[in-house]
Chain A
Amino acid sequence: MWETVAQAVINGLLIGGIYALVSIGVTLIFGVVKIVNFAQGEFVMIGMYISFFLANQFGIDPLLSLFVSMPVLFVIGVLVQHFLIRRVLGPNDMPQIFLTFALSLLLLNLALMLFSANYRTVHTSYSDEAFHVGGLYIPVAKLIAFVVAMVLSGALWVFLHTTDLGKAMRAAAQNRDVATLMGINPNRVFCVALGIALALAGAAGSLLMPFYSAYPFVGQVFVLMAFVAVVLGTLGNVIGALVASLMMGVAESLGIQFVGADSGLIVVFAMLLLTLAFKPTGLGGGRAR
């Protein structure tokens, strides 16, 4: 019995690392730019297709294509901020919500037109490999994804707390007006925040590719999970999003193990609704807005 539970927890933690990359991106954009990026899942999808085509055309390992997908998505993030989001920043919610929502619809349906709804997979030498520890089973591809996700999350934390640019981002997150008075260029900071967030989504896409199929709707799975994790972990809080994502992964995995194979989403919705009902400000407290 406890072995089944332990196995489910391990599976949950491993996929939770991927959720964390997506959630941290969402929460970083929310914290710094004060908008919710509905299109975050579609950038995971783009990351996956980049890795798929590099593997398919040039035989490049999906983990190496991290070095392509991350910079490409960083640039896309800067462009999205500079040409789209910058124009709708203001007190009004409607344009901000529906601009990124329209972007999500656009990318999803463009992918549907260009790549069709087919599932694409990449098979690597380590796709079927696994470590056996005691009675537990740890797939290599998922373990690599988890470790890289944690390293990237840690690197972001170090960046935010030690570099001038990172400190400027945190300052802009705390109080945009005062930060501007201190000589911080908000648009530059926002561009970097979008770039980093999208690069993390791209990394998630590349890390997923050895063990997950790419298809146009794939981002929706991850973005929903990320939204719940971000609410649960208190909006705008990077560590909160990380912890909440790992919890979500474990909860989903336990749900699949003990309730049924297609119950993952139900568990996610139940967690979201419970969070909203009892702790709308997130587990860390603070004020929901």
Chain B
Amino acid sequence: MTGRTQGLLGLAIGIAVVIALPLVVKSSFAIDIFIRILLFSFIGVAWNLMGGYAKQLSLGHAAYFGLGAYTSTILQIDFGISPWIGMIAGGLVAMLASLPIGWLCFRLRGPYFTIATIATAQALMLIFLKFRDLAWGAEGTTIPNLGSAPLMMQFETKSAYYYVALGLLALGLAITYLIERSWMGYYLVAIGEDEDAAEAIGVNAPRIKRDIYLISSFLTALAGTFYTQYIYFIDPATAFSFNISIEAALVSIVGGIGTLWGPVIGTILLETTSTLLQSWLGGSIGGVQLTVYSLILMAVILWRPTGLMGMMREAWQRFASRKPARA
């Protein structure tokens, strides 16, 4: 078998497994964890487009998560518009917001770009906290529970949410796959390697960065809408939580920055670790989860900057080179 057919076979088996998973696993605790894995993989995939390929290391993606969440919730509660439409509207609002934010932040490079993105996300959170007329202030609001209302993105079974999250992740991966193989993907990698050199050979770096930021913020906003519908609650502290920004970057770096499957692998590792820790320690001690996450992150940076994807590729190459060469 060639590598390509092997890859396709693996992908087909993988798809069959993830589609069948909720049919086999009935525990709602387990499905809840699967949904978290799918959702954070998706957020990681959205971050990775900009942070991974173009190395624009944002720690402010909560801004778009929050804007998506608030747009669809305001449309639903104040105007009775379905969150399915609100989700797209939220994506568009996020894209609009990414233009001025990008205009400001892309003036800085490296660490100061990162700091500027943190500040913009925090500023948005403060706006939603301070201006009570805008949207419920600090108390937030609960989403009215309509029972089974698929048209309003409300389902009675957890497995329905599972398939929505799976659909989002599939969308994110498909977009990443297409971009990776297009001229844009090569431009992104060129900017990530050395922005000045990329510009010297004719890459319009400001435009490419703006465009990828638009796509990345649109996708992140979809996740915000889904999450709010899933937990039936919104407030500035959850919608614009710094932890969202951290986890988006963390799963990509741990899994393998700038790779298609990196964010997915990273999320599986981190979420599994966090679930195991919570079941051992009872989740009573604050700070345990992020302590472990930060240790994993430091270990990856110091010993395996290519992440788990890089480790797996090396292991596979060692394994493959041990076999006798075929004619």
Contacts and interface: CB of A to CB of B under 8 A. Distances in A.
Interface of A: 35-36, 38, 84, 87-88, 92-99, 101-103, 105-106, 108-113, 116-117, 216, 224, 227-228, 231, 235, 262, 265-266, 269, 272-273, 276-277, 280, 288-289
A278 to B, nearest CB: 10
B17 to A, nearest CB: 32
Interface in B100-127: 104-105, 107-112, 114-116, 119-120, 122-123, 126
Nearest to B291: A109
Interface stretch (B168-176, B211-219, B298-306): B298-306
A113 B286 contact: yes
Contacts of B122: 224, 265, 269
Contacts of A111: 287
Contact of B126 (A92, A216, A266, A272): A266
Assign chain B's interface to a size class: 35 or more
A108 B245 CA distance: 17
Given A98-B249, A265-B122, A273-B119, A110 B109 contact: no
B291 A35 contact: no
Interface string B32-67: 000000000000000000000001010100000000
A284 B297 CA distance: 36
Contacts of B115: 36, 227, 231
A269 B123 contact: yes
Interface of B: 55, 57, 59, 104-105, 107-112, 114-116, 119-120, 122-123, 126, 130, 246, 249, 253, 257, 285-291, 293-295, 297-298, 301-302, 305
Given A94-B257, A106-B295, A273-B119, A289 B302 contact: no
Contacts of B116: 272, 276
B107 A280 contact: yes
A94 B110 CA distance: 8
A235 B112 contact: yes
B112 A231 contact: yes
A113 B291 CA distance: 9
Nearest to A231: B112
Nearest to A272: B119
Given A95-B305, A96-B111, A266-B123, 7 more contacts: A94-B253, A94-B305, A99-B301, A109-B294, A113-B287, A276-B105, A289-B110
Given A94-B57, A277-B104, A99 B302 contact: yes
Q: Provide the main secondary structure of the chain A interface.
A: helix
A99 B297 CA distance: 8
A35 B111 contact: yes
Contact of A98 (B291, B295, B301): B301
Contacts of A38: 111
A289 B113 CA distance: 9
B111 to A, nearest CB: 4
A146 to B, nearest CB: 26
A87 B302 contact: yes
Given A94-B257, A94-B305, A110-B291, A99 B298 contact: yes
A93 B287 CA distance: 27
Nearest to B112: A231
A273 B290 contact: no
Most buried by B among A96, A109, A216: A109
Given A105-B246, A113-B287, A288-B107, A93 B57 contact: yes
Nearest to A83: B302
Given A112-B286, A117-B286, A269-B119, A93 B294 contact: no
A234 B116 CA distance: 15
A265 B127 CA distance: 11
